[in-house]
Amino acid sequence: MSSQYVVATHLDKHVETQTGAGKQAIATRFSRAASTYNDIADIQARIAGDAREALLLQLADTSRNSLDVGSVLDNGRVRDSGCVLDIGCGTGRESARLAASGLAVTGLDIAPAMLEKAREDYPSITFCEGDADALPFETGEFGGVFSSMALQWSESPQQAIAEVARVLRSGGRGQLAIMVAGSFQELAQARSDAGLTASVNTLPSALVWEKAAGQAGLKTLYSEVTTYTDCFDNIRALLRSITKAGAGLSLNTRDTSPMTRAQLQALDAAFSRNADGQLSLTYHVLHLSLEK
C-alpha cells in the first residue's frame, strides 16, 4: 500500500459556504463514486429506506401508529399525490423504489455520472441534473418531495427548504433525511487526540432545519433525530467507506494534502474502539415530515 492515503478532511457532506466551483467539486466527487455507490453506501441505504417508508405513510394519509408500514409498502396504497421529486437521487435506487410503490417520480442530482447510471438502470423514470438550492422546476409542480442525505450540501437550510416549499403544491408532503450536528463526532475526537488539525465542519442542528421549514410556510408533521452507526476494522476501512460513497470532499484548499502513513496510524491509534474492537462512526440524521 502506498505510504500516503488521499482522504478528504471535510467528511460530513456539508460546507458552510458553497461557491459555483465548490458545487462543481461536489458533482465531480459523486460522479466518480457512481460505479461503486450502490455497493458501498449501505448506511445511506438504511437511512433512505426509513425516509421512504415515512413518505409512503404520509401519502397514504396514515401514521406510524395507525397502520403497519409493511402493508403500505406491499400494497402500494398511496393517494393521488401527483409527481414526487427525489432531490439528490444519486444512482436512482430510491427513486425506483418509490416508483415501484405506484408513484410518478422525478429524480434530481447534481452529479452527471450518477444520473447516467440512474438512467441506464431505470429508463422509465425521469432524471434531471440540477441544484437543490435552485430547483429547475415550476412553482407547485410536485405533490411530494423526498430527499435523503443530500441537503447537507446546501448553501443554507433556509434556501434549501424554501425551494422545497416552492415546488410543492398546496397540501403537498415532504420527507427529508438530513445529517445534522453531532455526526462523525468520533472522527473529530480522534483527530484531536492524534494532534491532527480539526477538519469536520459543524453541521446545522435539527432546530435550524425546523425553523427554516416554519419560515418557508411549511407545517412540521414529524421531526426526530435518529442515530445510525457504522463499524469498521480499521481507520482505512472507515475512511474508504466515506470516500467511495462520494462523501469524502474538502472544499478548503488547505485541507487537500494526502494523509501520510504515520498520520493514519496515529488516527487509528487515537480512535476509541467498541466492545468488538471496531471503530464506530455515528450519523445523526433528522427525519423531517412536512406539509404545505
Q: Residue 197: its pLDDT value, please?
A: 77
Residue 75 amino acid letter: N
The answer to whether the beta carbons of residues 250 and 8 sit under 8 Å apart is: yes
CATH 3.40.50.150 correct for 4-291: yes
Q: Long-range contact list for 215-218, CB < 8 A, 24+ apart?
A: 215/158, 215/161, 215/162, 216/158, 216/161, 216/162, 216/164, 216/165, 217/165, 217/292, 218/161, 218/164, 218/165, 218/168, 218/174, 218/290, 218/291, 218/292
Q: Which of 138, 150, 141, 205 is nearest to 175 (CA)?
A: 150
Parts of the chain with a pLDDT under 50 = 1-19, 31, 33, 37, 62-78, 245-254
Q: Residue 83: its pLDDT value, please?
A: 93
Q: Residue 199: its pLDDT value, please?
A: 60
Q: Residue 25: its pLDDT value, please?
A: 53
Global confidence as pTM: 0.80
Interatomic CA distance for residues 82 and 213, integer angstroms: 21
Q: Residue 249: its pLDDT value, please?
A: 40
pLDDT digits (tens, 9 = 90+) for 161-208: 999 999 999 999 999 999 999 998 998 899 999 998 766 567 899 999
Q: Phi first, then psi: what are they for 81, rounded to 5°?
A: -110, 0
Q: Residue 203: its pLDDT value, please?
A: 84
pLDDT digits (tens, 9 = 90+) for 82-110: 799 999 999 999 999 999 988 999 999 99
Q: Residue 11: its pLDDT value, please?
A: 33
